[in-house]
């Protein structure tokens, strides 16, 4: 097998590896109802995801009026408790995602998760999906004092997974900005939660299906990857 140009592939979770929109929408609308506010159509919620639970709740409140931080903090426990209890009711992994993860493992490539979902909920979802132990490192939105698009969580995830030539896979402008700030190549998926076409994210490659991931990664220049080595 030819040398693979990467040592490690880091992934976003929501909208990248798994379609979590149905359960996020249900949790958001549960919290909004508890606050006496109108619900948000579920199909619109996928365009509000990306900066964590409080940001999602803030955006949901803004759909119908003021979204002061007092309301966000009042609604946050309702959101989190409901979501934790129903974290994988409607969530599904994207077609081909598991096969792509297996193909990377076969090539000796390590994998990491870098998500703005709280770390505890991330592990809960991975357990429900049957993905416990699939990743060499997991960094959530509350693992560090900062979250994406700050590059620190991505650097931390890569370092915890052993470092080396790395790339980030994501679906949104948050992920694109994170990869750019971390000076890493970025591959965008076109089927996620982005509020704009994947072609407008400035990615090094865009894939429409996980069957395209390995070929896309093989086009990344090893020299480019070497310039972006992250130490362990």
Nearest to 5, CA basis, from 231, 217, 229: 217
**DSSP per-residue string spanning 163-221:** -BSEEEEESSHHHHHHHHHTT--EEEETTSS-SS-GGGS--SEEESSGGGHHHHHHTS-
Element (H, E) at 28: helix 21-34
Taking residue 177's Cβ as centre, other Cβ atoms within 10 Å add up to 18
Separation CA 68–CA 76 (nearest Å): 12
The DSSP element (H or E) to which 160 belongs, if any, is: helix 152-160
Do residues 192 and 16 touch, judged by C-beta distance below 8 A?
A: yes
Of residues 36, 214, 34, the one with CA closest to residue 111: 214
Scanning 35-151, the segments in alpha helix (DSSP H) are 42-45, 53-62, 69-85, 97-106, 119-129
Catalytic residue among 7, 12, 14, 23: 12
For this structure, is 12 an active site residue? yes
Which pair of tokens denotes residue 94?
């994207």
Active centre residues (catalytic): 12
């Amino acid at each position: 097998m030819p040398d693979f140009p990467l040592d490690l592939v880091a992934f976003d979770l929501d909208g990248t590896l798994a379609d979590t929109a149905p359960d996020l929408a249900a949790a958001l609308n549960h919290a909004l109802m508890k606050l006496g506010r109108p619900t948000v159509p579920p199909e619109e919620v996928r365009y509000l995801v990306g900066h964590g639970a409080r940001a999602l709740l803030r955006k949901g409140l803004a759909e119908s009026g003021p979204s002061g931080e007092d309301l966000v903090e009042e609604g946050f426990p309702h959101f989190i408790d409901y979501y934790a209890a129903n974290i994988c009711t409607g969530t599904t992994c994207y077609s081909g995602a598991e096969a792509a993860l297996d193909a990377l493992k076969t090539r000796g490539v390590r994998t990491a998760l870098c998500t703005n979902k709280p770390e505890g909920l991330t592990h809960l979802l991975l357990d429900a999906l049957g993905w416990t132990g699939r990743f060499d490192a997991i960094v959530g939105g509350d693992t560090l004092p900062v979250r994406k698009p700050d590059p620190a969580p991505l650097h931390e995830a890569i370092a915890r997974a052993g470092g080396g030539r790395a790339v980030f896979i994501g679906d949104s402008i948050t992920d694109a900005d994170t990869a750019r700030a971390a000076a890493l190549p970025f591959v965008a998926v076109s089927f996620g939660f982005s509020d704009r076409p994947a072609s407008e994210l400035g990615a090094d490659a865009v894939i429409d299906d996980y069957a395209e991931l390995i070929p896309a990664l093989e086009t990344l220049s090893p020299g480019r990857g070497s310039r972006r080595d992250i130490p362990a």
